[in-house]
Amino acid sequence: MTELPPTDRTRLRRLHGRGRFDRATIDAVLDAQPLCHIAYLRDGVPALLPSLQWREGDRVYWHGSSASHALRAQIGTEVCLAVTLLDGLVLARSGFHHSANYRSVMLFGRPEWIEDPRRKEQHLETFFERLLPGRWKSLRPVTQQELKATAVLSLPIREASAKIRTGPPVDEQADYALPIWAGVLPLRTTVGAPIPDPRNPEGLPPPAEPGTFRSG
């Protein structure tokens, strides 16, 4: 199992037992949740960009408009990308010990801005394949103009940590005797029934279930 070496930025200070640095755990979290948040500095002020991410081997990718100020501000600078799954609310016998069950990953580094249109197209196809298997091939081909208007960025999975909480609440010993319900309220993202565009031609089959959410 590949272990990433903790750095000054990724070493957990508190509750370090919840930290994981093995790539299998980190990759499983990245692959289970396309939603990420990317923190960066814009003119010296912290900003946070929600986006979709996908993993290809040892790198994480995200995309957006080539004209996006947020994406342009991420060129040549350090960013922090976080992926989070909220798995449950943990109800304890005191307010203090309430918690959440979760899986999360934080990555640090300097993004690469991918210029080559052919590489961009390949990465975008992989993105589609992860999220909606088979859909890319069913679409009209992407144009050069659309590729030019789309930025693709990536970050190596080199400086990263995962943090995971599972299981029941951890209460004060004396509190376990209290007549207060304690336990976990599980939470999960589910896929609803597809809603067809009213402009669809008659009789088209709905898409297959998204790929990424299956393990999330």
Ligand X SMILES: Cc1cc2nc3c(=O)[nH]c(=O)nc-3n(C[C@H](O)[C@H](O)[C@H](O)COP(=O)(O)OP(=O)(O)OC[C@H]3O[C@@H](n4cnc5c(N)ncnc54)[C@H](O)[C@@H]3O)c2cc1C
Binding site for ligand X (CB under 6 A): 9-10, 12-14, 84, 86, 100, 102, 104-106, 161-163
CB of 24 vs ligand X, minimal distance in Å: 15
CB of 154 vs ligand X, minimal distance in Å: 19
> Which two tokens mark 200?
């669809």
Closer residue to ligand X, CB minimum distance, 154 or 161: 161
Closer residue to ligand X, CB minimum distance, 152 or 155: 155
Contact 209, 191 (CB under 8 A): yes
Closer residue to ligand X, CB minimum distance, 40 or 102: 102
CB of 4 vs ligand X, minimal distance in Å: 10
Closer residue to ligand X, CB minimum distance, 124 or 162: 162
Query: How many Å apart are CA 95 and CA 30, to the nearest integer?
Result: 31
Q: From residue 64, give the alpha-carbon distance in Å to each of 15, 24, 47, 50.
A: 35, 28, 16, 11
> Which two tokens mark 152?
């693709």
CB of 101 vs ligand X, minimal distance in Å: 9
CB of 127 vs ligand X, minimal distance in Å: 23
The number of beta carbons lying within 10 Å of the beta carbon of residue 95 is: 6
Per-residue exposure over 138-148, b if at least 16 CB sit within 10 Å of its own CB, e if not: eeeeeeeeebe
CB of 113 vs ligand X, minimal distance in Å: 24
Closer residue to ligand X, CB minimum distance, 100 or 178: 100
Q: SS3 of 178, please?
A: coil
User: Read out DSSP for 86-127?
Assistant: EEEEEE-SSSTT-EEEEEEEEEEE--EEE--HHHHHHHHHHH
Closer residue to ligand X, CB minimum distance, 87 or 125: 87
